[in-house]
Amino acid sequence: MPTTPATAANSSSNGTAEAIMLELVDENGTTIGTAEKLAAHQAPGQLHRAFSVFLFDEQGRLLLQRRALGKYHSPGVWSNTCCGHPYPGEAPFTAAARRTYEELGISPSLLAEAGTVRYNHPDPASGLVEQEFNHLFVGLAQGQLRPDPEEVGETAFVAADELAKQHDEAPFSAWFMTVLDAARPAIRELTGPSAGW
């Protein structure tokens, strides 16, 4: 992965991982400080900047990922293509493209902003809280997926009608429907009316 000012600030020279810092924001999305990632998610949660990516194939099917079982937050549940947090000072668009590549091994095509949504979703299983100001992005998934097994347990492309069935049968992340519903206008614009989103 290329080193950027944001990634350099979040890695150490001796190869050991440093604490991952998140941007804390106010209700308008203005940066007001930073907090360590786990601390920001501990109840009651601190409002922080996040992003969610929705990528589609040429048939208008949404790429879902099942989060790896080793993740400390919401392991083993299905969610949108990619989600995460920009490093402090990193643009959400840059972070979304970076994490999509890190997690899935592809660079999104035609990635476009799709608005923001603010939510507060506790995760009953872990006791952690998603208190987020979330930047939404939509685009196309082109090329061969190469998921990182430490991040992604499984992937699937689903049509709009298939998603409803899968959502009833399998566990999904607490934030999934909130971010999907907020991104729907941009998703419809990208996929067209026949895709059913």
Please confirm, yes or no, whether 83 is among the known catalytic residues: yes
Q: Which residues of 134-157 are buried (b: 16+ CB within 10 A; e: fewer)?
A: bbbbbbbbeeeeebeeebbbebeb
Q: Which residue has the tokens 């979040």?
A: 10
Catalytic option among 23, 90, 103, 132:
132
Nearest to 139 by CA among 82, 71, 68: 82
Q: List the catalytic residue out of 23, 82, 83, 90.
A: 83
Question: Cα 102 vs. chain centroid, distance in angstroms?
Answer: 12
- Residue 15's contacts (CB-CB under 8 Å, 6 or more residues apart) are none
- Catalytic residue check, 82: no
Active site residues: 83, 132
